[in-house]
Amino acid sequence: SSDKISKDNLSFRWEPDLRESYEVADVVFQEVVRVLRDRFNQNQHASDDKCTVTSFPLVLSFPSMARPEDLDKLSAVLQSDECKQLLGLEDTCAELYPSSPAPYLRITFSTIFTKSEATTNDQNNVHNASMPANCATSATENWVNNFLGKYRLCPYTSSVSRAAVGLSSVGVPVGGVHVRVESTNVESAERKSYNILRAAMLVSSFWSEVVTLMNSSQEDWATSLLVFPEYDTEFESFVGICDSIVEPTVVATQSTDFIGRAWFHPQYDSDSIGHSEVIAGHAVPHKMVKGFMKSLHLSSGK
C-alpha cells in the first residue's frame, strides 16, 4: 500500500512496501510526470499573461528500501545540470537514516511562465503529429519480424514471439517481446514545457517497463521494446535523454546486471555520438567494427 497527501506546501508519497531500487525509480518518475503534467495543464489553460506556474516540492519516502544508499545516488543524478534542464528541476536531495527516520527524496521544480508570457512566436511552439499508437505497435512488430529477426541483426531475437534465443546456457529461457507505445497525448503546446514533459514521460515509461518485465515470467516476456514516436525525427534529443537520465539512473540503482539497454532510432548516427569504445545502449563504434571485420577476414584466410 502507499499514501499520497498534500500538506504544508508539500506533495508527499509514502511507499512502505517497496524494497527494490528499480521499483523506487519507477515511483520517482511516476511522480515527476504527475507534477509536470499538472504544471503543463495549468500552463495550457492559463489566461493571465503575467501568471507563473509553481508546484509543491515532492517528498517521496521509501522506508523498506533494501539499499537506501541507491536513493542518494539517484538524487545525485537528478541534481546534475543535464537532468535539471531536461526535467525542469530546481533541486533534488536525499536524506537517509540516521539523519531521517526513513529514507526520502525531496524534489523541487523550477518556476515556469504561462504560454502567453513565454512566447507568441509559432517557432517556439510544437504541433505534434506523431504516429498513432496502434500503427506504431504494428510497425514495430513488423520491423522485428521482417527486418531485425529476418536478417539476424540481433543474435538473440528471431521474432516478436521468440526473444532471448540461445541464452538458455545462462539461464534465460526463450520468451516474447513486449511492445509498449507511449505518447504525451499533446497536440499543440509551448515547446519548452512540452519537451520537459516528453522527456520525463520517456524516462518514466522506461522504468515502468522494467517493473513489468521484472514482475513477468521470462517465458512470457524475455525483452521489451519501448516505442516513443514523438522522438522519431529528433535523434539528438532522444539519445540525450537516454544518456543523461536513463543510463545514469540504471547505474545509480545498481540495475546494470539485469537490465540490458539498446537505443534504437530511425536516424541513429554513430558518428554523431563520437564514441571510440563500447557505450551502454549504443551501437558498436565504426572503428571497432572495422577492426573486427579485419580480424575475421584474416582468421578465415580469405
* pLDDT of 117 strictly over 50: no
Of the pLDDT bands very low, low, confident and very high (cuts 50, 70, 90), residue 113 is: low
Condensed to tens digits (0 to 9), the pLDDT of residues 186-220 reads 888 888 889 999 999 999 999 999 999 999 988 89
Condensed to tens digits (0 to 9), the pLDDT of residues 160-188 reads 998 878 777 777 788 899 999 999 998 88
Q: Return the closest-CA partner of residue 5 out of 59, 72, 62.
A: 59
Of the pLDDT bands very low, low, confident and very high (cuts 50, 70, 90), residue 2 is: low
Q: Return the closest-CA partner of residue 75 out of 59, 56, 92, 90.
A: 92
Q: What is the pLDDT of residue 3?
A: 63
CA-CA distance, 236 to 9, in Å (whole number)?
37
Rg (CA), the chain: 21
CA-CA distance, 172 to 164, in Å (whole number)?
7
Q: What is the pLDDT of residue 293?
A: 58
Contact 102, 189 (CB under 8 A): no
Which residues, listed in sequence order, are joined to residue 179 by a DSSP beta bridge?
Answer: 225
* pLDDT of 14 strictly over 90: yes
